[in-house]
Amino acid sequence: MISKEKRLGLRTWVEIDTQALKHNLNIFRSLVKPECKIMAVVKSNAYGHGLVDYSRVIEKMGIDYFGVDSVVEGVALRKAGIKKPILVLGYTLPEMVTRAQANDLDLAVSSFDSLKSILALPLKKPVKIHIKVDTGMHRQGFSLKDSKVLMAKLTANKRKIIVEGLFTHFARAKNPAFPSYTLKQIEIFNQWRGILKNNGFAPICHASASAGAILFPQAQFDMVRIGAGLYGIWPAEETKAYSIDKFQLKPILSWRTILSEVKKVPQGSQISYDGTEAVVRDSILGICPIGYWHGYARALSSIGKILVKGKRAKVLGRVCMDMIIVDLTDIPKAKVGDVVTLIGKDGKEEMSLEELARLADQSTYEFIDRLNPLMERIYG
């Protein structure tokens, strides 16, 4: 927990543990072969951790590549001084290609329409692209039946495009009990690798995200793309159960706020909007100045839990846009200004992201990505 001086003037803040981040990076370095590069996936505001600051920290730790969703994110990193290669994983509008070039960004190309739009531009230098192939996710990517036409177009346009990479995405790599679908995807990807090699291309090949890097060492290829794992988030409970005896990932994010008001109400008092919950005893209520605008899901109304003075307290009634109400009756010494932990540890107690997401009926990815980017991220 950071010092009061570092959070002066803040009603809510996010803490990032850089030592935990270093630990997680070292775990993945130990999992992959020495020549395998690691891409830090920092899309969606670095999964809620803060795009620029997180990228600066992990670049200093020796990360090899960055993965973003859009040219806008890539440009933000270049403006922040990030030097390592950056791949735009998402769709790039034709009018953004020259901006991508000006900022030395690699672009994902996953369809003939996208390739055609790039080739039609009056570019002064070739565009660096990573070819996305569909091996079974059926989201983005070229199919094997497209390979002959694709190779012809790539070969004919070597002055306009540089095939920097070849990649795919696994659809079911999180559960080690059912590997067959992923193994089939690996097989198809290997066919693609052979096709590009036979046509004179030598791209950086990458297929695995966090779960794939942990469970399928044969799919490391030239690079792995690690998002959740570096943040200390397990891709799935099945991945965690398989790996927990071998190594542990450390969550790098904690989210905290304060008690802004403490008050007493009599038994039977109805709490928050619509009076959906009534207290069953004379109670002490605490108000916290955060709500669903900050990313505390409205689905946590009447079921969420927070930590105060190392003890759990229940969210009462509806989660509001900018406030929640919590039951402090069993924590009578709690007072205005006390730190409240929404995600993270307080003493021996912990409110994990996994537990909070489960209570909200969300995935961990969904919950963490929705943390408001305007909240201060404090690295320590």
Contact between 344 and 351 under an 8 Å Cβ cutoff? The reply is yes
Distance CA 97, CA 349 (A): 49
Confidence class for position 71, pLDDT limits 50, 70, 90: very high
Whether 1 shows a pLDDT value over 90: the answer reads no
pLDDT for residue 139? 96
> Looking at residues 15-25, what average pLDDT do you find?
98
Distances (CA, A) of 141 to 17, 20, 189, 190, 249: 36, 35, 12, 15, 31
> What's the whole-number average pLDDT of the chain?
97
* Residue 292 is among the residues annotated as catalytic for this protein: no
- For the domain covering 18-243, report its CATH number: 3.20.20.10
Percent of the chain with pLDDT over 90: 98
> Looking at residues 76-100, what average pLDDT do you find?
97
* Residue 181 is among the residues annotated as catalytic for this protein: no
Q: What is the token pair recorded at 101?
A: 């070039």
| Each residue's pLDDT tens digit, 187-207 | 999 999 999 999 999 999 999
The SS3 call for residue 179 is coil
State the span(s) of the chain assigned CATH 3.20.20.10.
18-243
Q: Which of 37, 43, 128, 174 is labelled catalytic?
A: 43
Any residues with CB less than 8 A from the CB of 4 and at least 6 apart, and which?
none
> Looking at residues 322-346, what average pLDDT do you find?
97
In one-letter notation, the amino acid at residue 278 is A
Greatest Cα-to-Cα distance within the chain, rounded to the nearest angstrom: 79
Q: Which of 79, 197, 273, 335 is labelled catalytic?
A: 273
State the span(s) of the chain assigned CATH 2.40.37.10.
253-379
The SS3 call for residue 344 is strand
Distance CA 145, CA 150 (A): 9
Fold entry, domain 253-379? Lyase, Ornithine Decarboxylase; Chain A, domain 1 (2.40.37)
Q: What is the token pair recorded at 12?
A: 């809510």
